[in-house]
Amino acid sequence: MSARGGGRQTGVPGAPPPSGRPRVLVLAGGVGAARFLAGLVAVAPAAQLTVIGNTGDDFKVHGLHISPDLDTVSYSLAGLGDWERGWGLRGETWGAAEQFRRLGDDTWFQLGDRDLATHVWRTEQLRRGRPLSEVTRRLAERLGLGITLLPMTDQSVVTRVLTTDGQDLHIQEYLVRDRCQPEIKRIEYRGIERAQPAPGVREAIRSADLVVIAPSNPVISIGPILAVPGLRQELMAAPQVIAVSPIVAGQAVRGPAVPMLQSLGVVPSAAGVAALYADLISDLVMDQRDQELASEVAAQGVRPHLCDTLMVDQAARERLAAAVLAAASVRPVPSLESA
């Protein structure tokens, strides 16, 4: 794998944005990304922020199109998210779930009443023939996100988990219904070869001054985005790509990132994350608890930056976002630096 640390390109193709605002692009999954983004919008109000969200988790429940990762990001940035639970809306009620149960429908994928309204609304918009990117743009506008939120693709890509006992599970069946218990043999992004980057995705990468890979699951959140045909090459041409490690002291802060990395033969550690992204990133922001791995990260040609990466509250989310901006050597305007 070729490291980009030494050979970083300088300058952005094309003219700087007319507004002069630095353009920061974040590749995002759900909870880890939402936490990071809540910090980033607070410390870099001058930045023009674009998020490319994973849609490999998208799912149909009760005939409704659910985009869990896009919604986690939207709800958090709209100030509507439930930080305790990590997903869904704050102040949620569960009357519809109770009725679905009475009717004998599956209710293992929990949908609160308010959340349900989002999915009814999205499904209706899609039914009218609007692509997911357009529907997501409208949703972001109506929730007043103040950022550009793009799904990675408008085509259907489904992350499937093939298990050692021969099951072929939708990622949500693995995560939620089966609580990550089945042993993973292989993970597939089904439909990926036919996927095209959603409108605006290539342009967002080409005009980004800085790309950040959020502390999201590398296999099921970031993996599908990087696998959309053409995106990896676009990212390799970006002025600077920085990742934040979702693995702290050999553990995922939450979720199944460890067995998933192992299924790829990647060591579940900050060094493993560096190796997985080494052809894309110049820098890795990793937890200070993993200090002894810094030299291993540097050996992959990736500059390590140590800090406390546990986003336990808003102050911690902002500290992590500030550490990422401080690690960025591409600073098109001073406002990013003063963040």
Among 22, 23, 30, 273, which residue interacts with Ca ion (rule: CB under 5 A)?
A: 30
Under 8 Å between Cβ of 3 and 301: yes
- How far is 164 from 305, CA to CA, in rounded Å? 37
78 forms part of the interface with ligand GDP (CB under 6 A): no
32 forms part of the interface with ligand GDP (CB under 6 A): yes
Which of 221/263 has CB closer to ligand GDP? 221
Kindly indicate which of the ranges 61-69, 134-142, 207-215, 275-283 contains the residues binding Ca ion, using the contact rule CB under 5 A: 61-69
Strand ranges in 158-216 using DSSP code E only, listed in sequence order: 158-163, 168-170, 184-190, 210-213
Name the H helices within 182-288: 201-207, 223-227, 231-236, 257-263, 270-277
Nearest to 188 by CA among 170, 202, 215, 213: 170
Which of 81/255 has CB closer to ligand GDP? 255
Under 8 Å between Cβ of 170 and 105: no
Among 161, 241, 253, 323, which residue interacts with ligand GDP (rule: CB under 6 A)?
A: 253
With CB atoms as reference, the residue minimizing the distance to Ca ion is 30
User: Residue 199, SS3?
Assistant: coil
x/- site string to ligand GDP, residues 254 to 293, per CB under 6 A? xx-x------------------------------------
| 185 HSE (CA, 13 A, CB side) | 8
User: Closest separation between CB of residue 8 and Ca ion, Å?
Assistant: 30
Task: Name the residues that contact Ca ion, by CB under 5 A.
Answer: 29-30, 57, 69
Task: Name the residues that contact ligand GDP, by CB under 6 A.
Answer: 29-33, 35, 69, 72, 215-217, 221, 245-246, 248, 252-255, 257, 309-311
